[in-house]
Chains A and B, each alone.
Chain A
């Protein structure tokens, strides 16, 4: 008998099958993922989770007997009261009261429930989304390099000496040129020492020893020819860290509903950036008529009163960037959420700050205008575009690299987010 320990075999033997299955059921899984995020909190989206698929999409059909009609007989265990000729009312749900009939493999046709790993989940969630072109240009021109092994070279610094390779070369050369081995010399010497002074073989052996010693001297143990150095190539390394600025108006006009919308948007952006960058930092800046950097808890929850001056937030952001996040080594993303109000006199200053200070250092600037639920407006009510919207529209028309959208309901967040980051077709990109 053999005992084999298979536990050490690499796991995930079924990965290929799983991928095929995922591909097969992709559209359904995607739908299930989006539904599960619409109902649950978006934060859970980062943990993966269970999705339920309708059975028919991944159904494997077979010729099966119908469970209705015809004549059939059942053999059942556990008779207690029946005698031949008794009649039993037909159980509801057809003829089969769970008799020996049934599908041969015993598999039901219920909806199909299974767990996605976190990666699979987020992959599907963010499928087809891409960082804007701007970011890619930036990545291509990064300065940082990493060193990667790339074979051997005959020149190099002593610290990069490839010892194994050098000795291997030397060994090969010594064997090829028949350099006498130390053991051989030793044996020869011992033999000579063992002989009498007058033995006739002595001169012969001594001559051989002398010849071998000369040969040893001629053929070096390590020749410069043998020496090899490890070679390294410089691989340019993209900047793998990003900072995300969340700017939000927290003045009295921002309701809880609006803050919730903004929060959801920020979380999506966070998950998305996290996919692309190893290290993502988040900076929260809230503003009324003055701005300050705060922690997350305060940012979303503590109420504040005051007017609305957007430019203060932009100033604060520029200040934080200057202090902590060098644009050369950080990818900077900013997302601003506001109900669109701004003090009229501040619009010009905001536009100027954006174009001069913020946009040049940012990879991407997104403006999200959160509004009330559309249902709350009386029919026929036409909203005037807000101050900020008008200001920013002018900037975008002038070709500033930023994007903006309006969101009124929680269900719109995800589509809007997708719209902002959807893969651009080449035509669009050129436009």
Chain B
């Protein structure tokens, strides 16, 4: 028997790696992730790619295949120019929420970085994708790659059949409305005939059970039934008000051709697929960063990576979780990695070494001892908004030195409303959570009515929260796109939700191009 020395156990030495190294790294990481952290992941598929391929993936929103559109070429050209001039580095990895979970790793990474990336993407993000309720509810990890393939082929076929420019015009319009092509709440499923029948039967049985002929003699209203107004009938018919504008246009725009409706649907479904990512940025990155931090340290504890590798990892990790202060020139909003990672570490601390303050704020988890169980539960059942609202501790608020500033356009000065003190904790926590609420950061725009009897004018409404209006130039352009798809005039009113006063009006007239217009 040979005696294994310290350095024999190392997964790799130096920066070089090959496919056997990756396999060994993955096995070691998997062992820790599954058995020690108790993660539950999709099967992994790790793909090694070059710089250019990374740029490719960047420009098609990280997806391995995508339909063709000039805007992706634009993003590619921009990223490439920024990368070549050194203004921007490339991500170390991209991970796709699919089953199997595909992680792209770059060939330039050192062996340490590959370890970090595998721990981060292939286990951290992967666990989050598989377990978080928003992803479970909204995305179909098994089908997404097939759907993208269908989308790509369908767009290509449309281009052959109807001309690339026709397709481009429609996609331009659809892309402009992508953020408003999302169902924010699960919709009622249409009931099938059998359920309907069963329900009808139950209803009748109930009627029979409670039947009492006396009720007939009780005097009631004259015609008994309430007659719906024309507006109510129209609204019911068109499912108004509707905040999913793309859905509304797909189903109700009078002049669109079937292939055009299908394209709108493709854009809408892809937007819906990405919707969970926008509302779980902090948690998703926090989860992945926490997982890679734990795994890398465990690998070092087990003697599987060297001190040098640990140093290299820590350097990169510290860069990732760096949060500059507001007066720092590098400040550009909250770093989701920093906030997410700090909150995860904080939960771990509360579970093991709670202070009196923690016991008061988090009675159910403080001192419970099993932080992984708590974290797994958090990762499964929260999104950014609810997570911050629930778990941002006073200690972290003090650590980041958070303060809230209010800015009323009618006031010459900004006011400091709350700081990291006893009176401010809850206020700050609530305000920060709201910043991560999708209903707060995307403008609330809805289709409210259609003039069915007359000129078919479409009415759109922006409920301008806090009286913040839309950027005018962009709003005009997007409204024009809506009009082009709708085929008739469109009017948008920006109203103050507090008292329903109209703050601003926009109008757009349909241009020929996407749909053939009726000449009056």
Contact = CB atoms under 8 A, between A and B. Distances in A.
A407 to B, nearest CB: 35
A64 B49 contact: no
B70 A20 contact: yes
Given A2-B100, A65-B443, A98-B331, A72 B76 contact: no
B26 interface: yes
B72 interface: yes
Contact of B72 (A14, A22, A23): A14
Contacts of A75: 334, 402-405, 428, 431-432, 435
Contact of A86 (B52, B328, B416): B416
Interface string A61-94: 1111111111111111111101111111110000
Contacts of B400: 77-78
B36 interface: no
- Which of B46, B323, B400, B407 has the largest number of chain A CB atoms within 10 A? B407
A21 B73 contact: yes
B326 interface: yes
A88 B416 contact: yes
B45 A2 contact: yes
Interface stretch (A111-119, A174-182, A321-329): A111-119
Contacts of B74: 21, 25, 58, 112
| Interface hub of B332, B405, B431, B474 (most chain A Cβ within 10 A) | B405
A348 interface: no
Interface string A13-46: 1101111111111000000000000000000000
Interface stretch (A3-11, A277-285, A418-426): A3-11
Nearest to A96: B407
B468 A13 contact: no
B325 A62 contact: no
A60 interface: yes
B293 to A, nearest CB: 21
Contact of A6 (B47, B84, B168, B409): B47
Nearest to B406: A73
Nearest to A95: B407
Interface string B371-393: 00000000000000000000000
Nearest to A69: B409
B15 to A, nearest CB: 18
A86 B415 contact: yes
B333 interface: yes
Interface in B179-200: 179-180
A1 B23 CA distance: 8
A4 B176 contact: no
B409 A76 contact: no
A2 to B, nearest CB: 5
A73 B417 contact: yes
A63 B48 CA distance: 37
Contacts, number: 262
B68 A76 contact: no
Contacts of A252: none
Interface in B75-133: 76-78, 80-81, 84, 100, 104, 107, 122
A50 interface: yes
9 contacts: A3-B47, A72-B406, A73-B406, A74-B404, A74-B405, A77-B401, A78-B326, A84-B421, A98-B331
A80 B416 CA distance: 12
A78 B327 contact: yes
Given A66-B470, A73-B404, A104-B179, A7 B73 contact: no
B423 interface: yes
B48 A3 contact: yes
Contacts of B441: 104
Interface string B417-446: 111110110001001100100000111010
B419 A82 contact: yes
A423 B420 CA distance: 72
Contacts of A70: 409, 464, 466-469
B30 interface: yes
Contact of A17 (B72, B324, B406, B408): B72
A99 interface: yes
A390 interface: no
A74 B434 CA distance: 11
Given A76-B402, A78-B401, A82-B403, A66 B468 contact: yes
B71 interface: yes
A76 B327 CA distance: 9
A22 B326 contact: no
B182 to A, nearest CB: 12
A102 interface: yes
A38 to B, nearest CB: 22
A66 B443 CA distance: 10
A62 to B, nearest CB: 6
Interface string B279-290: 000000000000
A13 B423 CA distance: 56
A83 B443 CA distance: 31
Contacts of B416: 82-88
